[in-house]
Amino acid sequence: MSESNATTEPLRVALLGCGTVGSSVARRLVEHPEEFSARVGRPLELVGVAVRDLDKPRDEAGLDRSLLTTDAEGLVTRADLVIELIGGIEPARSLILSAFEHGASVVTGNKALLGEDGPRLYEAASEAGVDLHFEAAVAGAIPLIRPMRESLAGDQVRRVMGIVNGTTNFILDKMDRTGADLADVLAEAQQLGYAEADPTADVEGHDAQAKAAILASLAFHTRVATSDVSCEGITAITSDDIRTVRRMGCVLKLLAICERVERPDGTAGVSARVHPTIVPRSHPLASVREAFNAVFVETELAGELMFYGPGAGADPTASAVLGDLVQAARHRVTGARGPGESAYAQLPVVPLGDVRTRYAIRVDVEDQPGVLARVATVFGDTGVSIESMIQGIRRSDDGLAPLTIATHEAAEGRLAETVERLRGLDEVGTVSSVLRMEGL
């Protein structure tokens, strides 16, 4: 019961940003001071909340409005613990660096900044001898960052594969269940608050891309930046794609995949990518519905682990932020330090062209004898092995029939060549989609 011996000198907490997550964090801090005090060993005192507009109507029950300030720069200089929930690169980065300079530990959920400039933040925290925590940056409330940095620190991660963006999972799940088009489902998601007015970051995969960079960095003790992660969003996905995937007994998910791979020269490398992925319905990731997140971690010793939960939302994200806050505060009290950057392995990031996966290619072909053989010959010539070919019914409008070819594992580069040559065939009308398959 050592942790209940709280001394009276409070640790000063500064909150930067007071949107839905920030409000939830502030509410909890103000409403349950005794709990934080007991868990930390010292009281936590919210000394200020930096906002852009003081006059914006707010509904933080119990939040003393005199705590609000527009002077974020000033606020970080008088705190022991800074919670950064502004998001984006600037001014978030400058404020975090300033917090470190003033000796404060930082808790952030800023995946964009971590993905772009993580090493600089780590370095500044290390120089200042303070903590940098970011559980909320990936998969919301799901404890994932801490397990990766600490629990699996004696193991070797082989692969991290997961649904880390709730908006796109909501959209793809809805398309799968209703057969509706992307545009209609996106509009519904926006109405329900699952997608933002400008949904670009989600549907183009950029949000998942930054998260993949963070996960790959931790998993492989290697610096992986957002720009190292190849990324394809869901904007090109049609209801035809979804139907085809259904017919294969599968479901389409936007996955972040980080793998330790063998490079052509036999040495180890890292692949990190985000793309729509065909997953068998029997795979646990297939049953992840609506805006939930789930991440598989495969390691040498532990085998396959799965983490599942709400990937976003004010309260779930606040849970992750507050867990980090308690951790950083405990370290403050005991003079301890959280883990720093672990990038000793520095494995090279493998270009997408060298990564091997399985593919499903959908083409529209003329419905006449010899076409399947012509198509199959292209695959034979490029060295991509076919697992199955499924021909659909000839359409009356253009006389073409859809043909779905599932391949065995092949290098991305070979596949691109195959698609190029398919496009050159007279018998092939269009190559309607090329989708990767995992977990089969």
Residues contributing to the annotated binding site for L-homoserine? 196
Q: Which backbone phi and psi does 292 adopt, to 5 degrees? A: -75, 160
- Chain positions 59 to 98 lying near its own copies, rule: CB under 8 A, are none
DSSP codes of every residue in 247-269:
HTTEEEEEEEEEEEEE-TTS-EE
Piece of the chain touching its own copies by CB under 8 A; list 54-62, 149-157, 168-176, 354-362: 149-157
Residue with tokens 């990190």: 272
Question: Which residue of 7, 200, 334, 377 would you call a contact of its own copies, by CB under 8 A?
Answer: 334
Of 227, 222, 284, 232, residue with least CA distance to 255 = 232
Could you say whether residue 266 binds its own copies (CB under 8 A)?
no
Q: Say how far apart CA 108 and CA 87 lie, in whole Å.
A: 9
Q: What is the DSSP string of 78-101?
A: T-SEEEE---SSTTHHHHHHHHHH
**Binding status of residue 315 toward its own copies by CB under 8 A:** yes
Which member of 56, 174, 211, 253 is catalytic?
A: 211
From residue 54, give the alpha-carbon distance in Å to each of 65, 69, 198.
9, 7, 25
Tracing tokens 């389409």 back to the chain, one arrives at 252
Among 155, 204, 290, 366, binds its own copies (CB under 8 A): 155
**Which residue stretch of 92-100, 253-261, 333-341, 411-419 sits at the interface with its own copies (rule: CB under 8 A)?**
333-341
Inter-residue contact 362 to 436 (CB < 8 Å): no
From residue 418 to residue 437, the character string flagging contacts with its own copies as x (rule: CB under 8 A) and all else as - is: --------------------
**Angle between helix 20-31 and 33-40 (nearest 10):** 80
Give the chain's end-to-end CA distance (angstroms, integer): 49
Out of 11, 213, 257, 326, the residue judged to bind its own copies by CB under 8 A: 326
CB contact at 8 A, 284 and 304: no
Q: Which of 199, 205, 310, 392 lies at the binding interface for its own copies (CB under 8 A)?
A: 310
12, 159, 243, 337: which one binds its own copies (CB under 8 A) = 337
> Is residue 154 a contact point for its own copies (CB under 8 A)?
yes
Contacts of the segment 282-288: beta carbons below 8 A, 24+ positions apart? 283/439, 285/161, 285/162, 285/163, 285/253, 285/255, 285/439, 286/250, 286/251, 286/253, 288/163, 288/169, 288/173, 288/253
Touching its own copies, residues 19-48 (CB under 8 A): 24, 28, 32, 35-36, 38-39
Q: How far is the CB of 46 from its own copies (least distance, A)?
A: 13
Known catalytic membership, residue 211: yes
Q: How many residues bind its own copies (CB under 8 A)?
A: 67
Within positions 269 to 288, which residues make up the interface with its own copies, using CB under 8 A?
Answer: 284
Active site residues: 211
Interaction site with its own copies (CB under 8 A): 1-4, 24, 28, 32, 35-36, 38-39, 122, 126, 135, 140-143, 146-147, 150-156, 221, 284, 299-310, 313, 315-316, 318-327, 330-331, 334-337, 339-345
